[in-house]
Each structure stands twice: as structure tokens, then as C-alpha cells.
């Protein structure tokens, strides 16, 4: 076997570990990465707590450097093992990976920049890649389908809620006025959303009898309409999980095959994942898939 071939094998092997979750090595890699990501998020949180940061600044700083270096190595490995590196770099997760690695390096240059915390929080998004490939997929698959099916209806509903909030918020602004905390219409609309969604902070609350009467109507209304999205999802999900009658002549493959056929493997050329089991070529680019 030529050296080039060996190198390719080594690369393929690494690709399998990093990008696939079905092999034991791939699963271990994902698990370790998951732990490191969660640890890095906990770090970001702890650093934001003044008292902890004052005491353990050096420890937290060292750990952050360690995690940054691990992420850097992982980022380079991902670029090397993929066939089209630029496609990865400019993909959604490629950008997330870069942005969640960069902050510590940038903090050397722009010392004490507050906004870097936000970049570091982006690391959490990486969790989704791992879980998407993981075992939770099966459990949430039906759910995702139900949510997709009811997306349009829930959008219409939420849109109606927002229009309602604007109209009722304006009325409350006129009724309560600035002296009771409803200082302007956007704030009134904010209060109205707080009330309609039954959150009810209480930072602003109606004081006049008329205001409290309208608020009561808004609340009872909110109580009545909270039923709507629940009803939608409930009915859609119910339809997903159960087909009360399945005469043989109706093709039923749509329900069963999805869970059986799709695996977590991702194409080394175009990075598309969720190929069906036994697929030998990528459905997106025609690249042969390497099944161990």
C-alpha cells in the first residue's frame, strides 16, 4: 500500500471518529466533546460571578486556555479530515466552531472586552450537533415532525397574539397613563405580552379601577387562548403517533422507515448527514460513503 493510501486511511479513520457517532470511537469522541463543551459553559458562567472570579481568577483562566487549545486542535482536525475544507469552514457549524474557539485569543489583543462572553456562550450551540447525532434523535423525531406540521398554524396564532398585544397595550397606555408606570406604548405592549402569556412580572401593574378591569379581561382572554397552541400541537402529535386504521392498500412506509433508515454518518465531501442505513453513496453529492 502506498504512503498516500495509508495517509488517506488514517484520514478516513479520523473522519469516522470526528464526524460519525455510530462507531465506539465516534461515540467516545462525542461524549468527551460534550463534557468539555458543558465544562466550558460552566466556566463562562462562573467567571461572570464577581465573587468567584475574584477568588479563582487564575484557575478559571488556566482552564479556559486549556479548553481553547482543545477546541483549536479539534477545529484543525475537522479541517484536515474533510475533503472540501472551505465548505466546512463556511458552514453553520464551521463558523460556530471558529467563533467559540477565537474569544480567548482575541482577549489577548482586546483585553477586557465584555462582548467576548457572548461569543463564548455560542459554544452551547455545538451541543446540538452532538445530540443530533446521538441517541436522543429517535425520541424527538416524532415530536419534530409534529412541530413542523403545526408550525404554520402556531405562527398565525402567535401573530394574532402580537397584534392583540399592540392594540390592548395602546388602550392600557391611554387608560393608565404615565403616572402608573405605563410610560409609553412600547412599554405598555411589553406589559400586555407579560400579561397575555400569564408570566406577570408585576414590575408594572394597573392601578386605576378601569385599568384593572381591562387587565382582568386581558388575563381571562389569555387564559382562553393559551388553549390554542396546545390544542394544535396535541392534535398534530396525536396524528403523528397513531394511525387509527391502516388498510393494507395505503402505503405506510412514511411512518416506519424514517427511524430505521437514517443514521448519523456524514458525507466526507459535502458534510450532509442523516443518510439511510445501507446507503453506499451520498444522496446529495454522489460521493461514496465509507461504512466500517
* Count of residues making up the chain: 292
Sign of the CA dihedral with 140 first, then 145, 151, and 153 last: negative
Q: Which of 36, 145, 18 is nearest to 77 (CA)?
A: 18
**Residue with Cβ nearer its own copies (17 or 215):** 215
106 binds its own copies (CB under 8 A): no
Q: Return d(Cα 179, Cα 211) in angstroms, integer.
A: 13
Site for its own copies in 33-52 (CB under 8 A): 41, 44-45, 48-50
Q: CA torsion 279→280→283→284, rounded to 10°?
A: 140
Residue span binding its own copies (CB under 8 A) among the ranges 17-25, 62-70, 78-86, 236-244: 236-244
Query: How many residues line the site for its own copies (CB under 8 A)?
Result: 118
Name the grid cell of 31. 461524549
One residue of 107, 195, 263, 265 binding its own copies per CB under 8 A: 195
Query: In the bound complex, what is the minimum distance in angstroms from residue 216's beta carbon to its own copies?
Result: 5
**Residue with Cβ nearer its own copies (79 or 226):** 226
**Residue with Cβ nearer its own copies (80 or 199):** 199
Q: Return d(Cα 14, Cα 81) in angstroms, integer.
A: 7
Residue span binding its own copies (CB under 8 A) among the ranges 26-34, 72-80, 84-92, 269-277: 269-277
Q: Which of 15, 165, 7 is nearest to 81 (CA)?
A: 15
170 binds its own copies (CB under 8 A): yes
61 binds its own copies (CB under 8 A): no
One residue of 17, 146, 172, 271 binding its own copies per CB under 8 A: 146
**Residue with Cβ nearer its own copies (155 or 292):** 155
Measured in degrees and rounded to the nearest 5, phi and psi for residue 136 equal -70, -15
22 binds its own copies (CB under 8 A): no
271 binds its own copies (CB under 8 A): no
Question: By rule CB under 8 A, what string of x and - marks binding of each residue 116-145 to its own copies?
Answer: -xx--x--xx-xx--x----x--xx-xx-x
Query: In the bound complex, what is the minimum distance in angstroms from residue 81's beta carbon to its own copies?
Result: 21
114 binds its own copies (CB under 8 A): yes
Site for its own copies in 147-166 (CB under 8 A): 147, 149, 152-159, 161-163, 166
Query: In the bound complex, what is the minimum distance in angstroms from residue 37's beta carbon to its own copies?
Result: 11
Measured in degrees and rounded to the nearest 5, phi and psi for residue 288 equal -65, 140
Q: Which of 77, 65, 70 is nearest to 103 (CA)?
A: 65
Cβ burial, residue 114 (10 Å; 0-12/13-18/19+) = exposed
Query: In the bound complex, what is the minimum distance in angstroms from residue 116's beta carbon to its own copies?
Result: 10
**From the CA atom positions of the chain, what is the Rg in Å?**
26
Name the grid cell of 164. 392583540
224 binds its own copies (CB under 8 A): yes
Name the grid cell of 40. 466550558
Amino acid at each position: 500500500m502506498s504512503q498516500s493510501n495509508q495517509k488517506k486511511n488514517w484520514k478516513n479513520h479520523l473522519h469516522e471518529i470526528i464526524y460519525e457517532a455510530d462507531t465506539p470511537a465516534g461515540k467516545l469522541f462525542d461524549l468527551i466533546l460534550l463534557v468539555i463543551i458543558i465544562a466550558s459553559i460552566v466556566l463562562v458562567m462562573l467567571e461572570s460571578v464577581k465573587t468567584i472570579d475574584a477568588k479563582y481568577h487564575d484557575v478559571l483562566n488556566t482552564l479556559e486556555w486549556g479548553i481553547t487549545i482543545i477546541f483549536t486542535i479539534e477545529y484543525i482536525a475537522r479541517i484536515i479530515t474533510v475533503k472540501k475544507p472551505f465548505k466546512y469552514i463556511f458552514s453553520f457549524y464551521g463558523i460556530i466552531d471558529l467563533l467559540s474557539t477565537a474569544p480567548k485569543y482575541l482577549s489577548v489583543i482586546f483585553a477586557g472586552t465584555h462582548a467576548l462572553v457572548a461569543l463564548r456562550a455560542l459554544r452551547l450551540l455545538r451541543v446540538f450537533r452532538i445530540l443530533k447525532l446521538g441517541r436522543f434523535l429517535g425520541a424527538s423525531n416524532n415530536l419534530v415532525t409534529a412541530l413542523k406540521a403545526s408550525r404554520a398554524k402556531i405562527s398565525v396564532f402567535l401573530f394574532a397574539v402580537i397584534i392583540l398585544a399592540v392594540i390592548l397595550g395602546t388602550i392600557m397606555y391611554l387608560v393608565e397613563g404615565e403616572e402608573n408606570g405605563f410610560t409609553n406604548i412600547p412599554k405598555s405592549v411589553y406589559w400586555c405580552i407579560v400579561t397575555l402569556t400569564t408570566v406577570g412580572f408585576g414590575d408594572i401593574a394597573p392601578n386605576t379601577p378601569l385599568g384593572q378591569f381591562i387587565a382582568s379581561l386581558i388575563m381571562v382572554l389569555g387564559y382562553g387562548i393559551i388553549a390554542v397552541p396546545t390544542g394544535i400541537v396535541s392534535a398534530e402529535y396525536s396524528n403523528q403517533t397513531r394511525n387509527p386504521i391502516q388498510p393494507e392498500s395505503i402505503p405506510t412506509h412514511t411512518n416506519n422507515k424514517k427511524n430505521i433508515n437514517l443514521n448519523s454518518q456524514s458525507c466526507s465531501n459535502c458534510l450532509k448527514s442523516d443518510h439511510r442505513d445501507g446507503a453506499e453513496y451520498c444522496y446529495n453529492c454522489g460521493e461514496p460513503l465509507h461504512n466500517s
